[in-house]
Chain A
Amino acid sequence: MTTPIAAAASFRPIEPISPMATPAVAPGAAVQGAAPGGFGALLDKIASTEQAANTAGVDTVTGKITNLQDFTAAAAKAQLSVQLTVALRNRAVEAYNEIMRMQV
């Protein structure tokens, strides 16, 4: 039979609250550093896809491109890229709003 005191001693003592870890880089610098590799790079790619679709469209109506599938494929790719961007942006804003609604 164990004594009540001995049973209580088996629990871990409460750890003191440690200070929050400071971020390795300043918030502003972190956002700037992340932009070219992440969303910024995606936006650049989207912009070039859109540009290609525009060029293909102009070439088609001015008679430079003689096969229509080149233009429609470029247009489909640009459409998908824009849809991807909008979907990502919507999710990001949604997540941000979710956090902003948090009760403190």
Chain B
Amino acid sequence: MGYLDAIDTARSGATLASTWLDAISDNIANANTIRGAGQEPYRARTVIASSDAEGKGVHVAGVQVASGTPDVSYDPTNPLADEKGYVTLPKVDMNEQMTNLVVAQRLYQMNINAMAAARDMAQTALSIGAKQ
């Protein structure tokens, strides 16, 4: 049923945006997750989108973990601090996360709007020649 394909395509986009929002939410929630010095810090995760074959939408291909050396902070009162008093800060860029949050939200809205447009178009087609 061809007229329903656009709905499924938009649904896949909305699912991707929703998964992305989950990742952003996880990143923001862990923005203060401090680990001990020398330990692997919490690293921000980003959802990788990949297009489906034959224009059937999009799916989550994988998760990208933020790379780079994490910042350390001098916090001797922290129980996780090493003997020199340093802790490892999470590798989360809050500016990037907030920007991505807006983008993911708008992406979700756009996909839902596309779904509504597909439904309205099908309903318009069904009303051709109908009695008022």
Question: Which A residues form the contact surface with B (CB < 8 A)?
Answer: 45, 67, 69-70, 72-73, 76-77, 79-81, 83-84, 87, 90-91
B18 within 8 A of A: yes
- Asked if B123 and A80 make an inter-chain contact with CB atoms under 8 angstroms apart, the answer reads yes
A63 to B4, CA, bound (A): 26
* Residues A84 and B126 in contact in the complex (CB < 8 Å), given A73-B7, A76-B7, A77-B7: yes
Nearest B residue (CB) for A69 = B14
Residues of B within 8 A of A (CB): 1, 3-4, 7-8, 10-11, 14-15, 18, 111-112, 115, 119, 122-123, 126, 129-130
A residues near B4, Cβ cutoff 8 Å = 77, 80-81
A87 to B123: give the CA distance in the assembly, Å: 10
Query: Which residues of A sit under 8 angstroms from B1, Cβ to Cβ?
Result: 45, 81
Chosen A-B contacts, 7 in total, with CB atoms closer than 8 Å, are: A69-B112, A76-B115, A80-B4, A80-B7, A84-B122, A84-B126, A90-B130
* Nearest CB in chain B to that of A87: its residue: B126
Tell me whether B123 and A83 are in contact (CB under 8 A). Answer: yes
Is B112 a contact of A83 with CB atoms below 8 Å?
A: no
CB <8 Å contact, B3 and A87: no
Return the contact of B15 from the options A45, A70, A76, A87 (Cβ within 8 A).
A70
**CB–CB B119/A76 < 8 A:** yes
Of the residues B7, B14, B130, contact of A87 by C-beta under 8 Å:
B130
* A45 proximity list for chain B (CB < 8 A): 1
In-complex Cβ contact of B10 among A73, A80, A81, A83 (8 A): A73
Contact A73 B11 (CB under 8 A): yes
18 other A-B residue contacts (CB within 8 Å) besides A73-B10, A73-B14, A77-B7: A67-B14, A69-B14, A69-B15, A69-B18, A70-B15, A73-B8, A73-B11, A76-B7, A79-B119, A80-B3, A80-B4, A80-B119, A80-B122, A80-B123, A83-B123, A83-B126, A90-B130, A91-B129
CA distance in complex: A81, B10 (Å): 18
Q: Cβ of B3: which chain A residues have Cβ within 8 Å of it?
A: 80
Q: List A contacts of B122 (CB < 8 A).
A: 80, 83-84
In Å, the complex CA distance between A76 and B126 comes to 14
